[in-house]
Structure 1
Amino acid sequence: MTVAFFSGKGRRIGVALGAVSAGLLVLSACDKPTPLATVTVGSDSVNTEAACYDDGEAIKESLIQGCLNKKADKTVKISMDDKVRFGVDPEIAENGWTLFINGQQAEQEPYKNTYRTIPGNAFLASQTGETSKETTVSIV
């Protein structure tokens, strides 16, 4: 599942917008509730269950690409000035989690806290320096 946010704030008019898809990616085989990921932009928040979950264990590296290939259901529109907040349940944070942007690992070491904030411009700038219209962000 992915998360969608839409904001009608006037300050965003004329600003390049991008769609950020967020999916919590960890593999599921249990009857316990699946952990949630939350993505917040401004006052809009959306939760999504883990698309892949391994009952609290770290995901095997060989399974990550399959999780990244899952289609996003929800999107959020952001501007360069927005702050994008990511939160995960403590079960996910225990093993660490990382962001993938357009299928590429964005950080070397897993993040072990339950919450973080990243500026919107980090998701909208492409490698060529142009503004991206759409970016897929996955939490693994």
Structure 2
Amino acid sequence: MTTLQSAVRRRRAVAAAGLVSAGLLVLSACDKPTPRVTVTVGSTSVSSEAVCYDDGNDLGQAKATKCALEKSDVKTIKVKQSETLRVGVDQKVADTGWALWINGQQMTYVYKKSYYAFDGVDLFAQQQGQAPQKTLYISIVEQDKQSSGQSKAYKGVWNFKLENSDY
């Protein structure tokens, strides 16, 4: 074997080792995907991963509330007043329990179902003396409920923007 052939083999081995190292680095930077939540109105659906999720660990109520108020990079869906809003959650989220929050405040009890339909709910209801809302932010918050009904853990938050298509 000549010196030239030996040098070429060494370069190939170094290049291959570099590619393997780069590949491992890229893979280690990948986050494990969070469970998904889907919101459906009529025949339109939007699906999202969590804005806050720590692999099923408790975020705490304060962080969950802060995450529920996060308005950047949220999926948007158009809704007519009194139209049925359907929510589908990953079975893992349903097993823990989840609640619907509107503008950072819990609006429902904790559900243990992977699907729930809010039939004919006027989410954009006009408050006395105020014009109907054009935009509403909802959150699906994974909450582990105690037997007393109080939430003992807040494990994930998924945000969606609803646009009132009647205005």
Give the letter aligned to residue 79 of structure 2.
I
Contact 2:44 2:77 in 1 (8 A): no
Contact 1:56 1:91 in 2 (8 A): no
Query: Percent of aligned pairs with the same residue?
Result: 45
Residue 112 (structure 1) shift: 1.1
- The 1:116–1:102 alpha-carbon spacing in structure 2 relative to 1, beyond 3 Å, is same
Residue matched to 1:133: 134
Kindly indicate which of the two structures has a greater share of residues assigned to helix: 2
Runs of 4+ with >6 A deviation: none
Give the letter aligned to residue 111 of structure 2.
Y
Question: Which string of whole-angstrom CA distances, capped at 9 and with x for unpartnered residues, describes residues 78-134 of structure 1?
Answer: 112421111110111122111111222102x31111111113543111432853222
Name stretches of at least 5 consecutive residues in structure 2 with no aligned partner: 1-29, 142-167
Contact 1:57 1:95 in 2 (8 A): no
TM-score (norm 1): 0.68
RMSD: 2.2
> What does 1:28-107 align with in structure 2 at a 5 Å threshold?
31-72=31-72, 73-107=74-108
Name stretches of at least 5 consecutive residues in structure 1 with no aligned partner: 1-29
Question: Which string of whole-angstrom CA distances, capped at 9 and with x for unpartnered residues, describes residues 1-44 of structure 1?
Answer: xxxxxxxxxxxxxxxxxxxxxxxxxxxxx943211010111111
In the alignment of these two chains, the number of paired residues is: 110
Contact 1:88 1:115 in 2 (8 A): yes
Residue 59 (structure 1) shift: 3.7
Residue matched to 1:117: 117
TM-score (norm 2): 0.58
Over alpha carbons, which structure has the higher Rg? 2
Report the 3-state secondary structure (helix = DSSP H, G, I; strand = E; otherwise coil) of the residue aligned with 1:86. Answer: strand
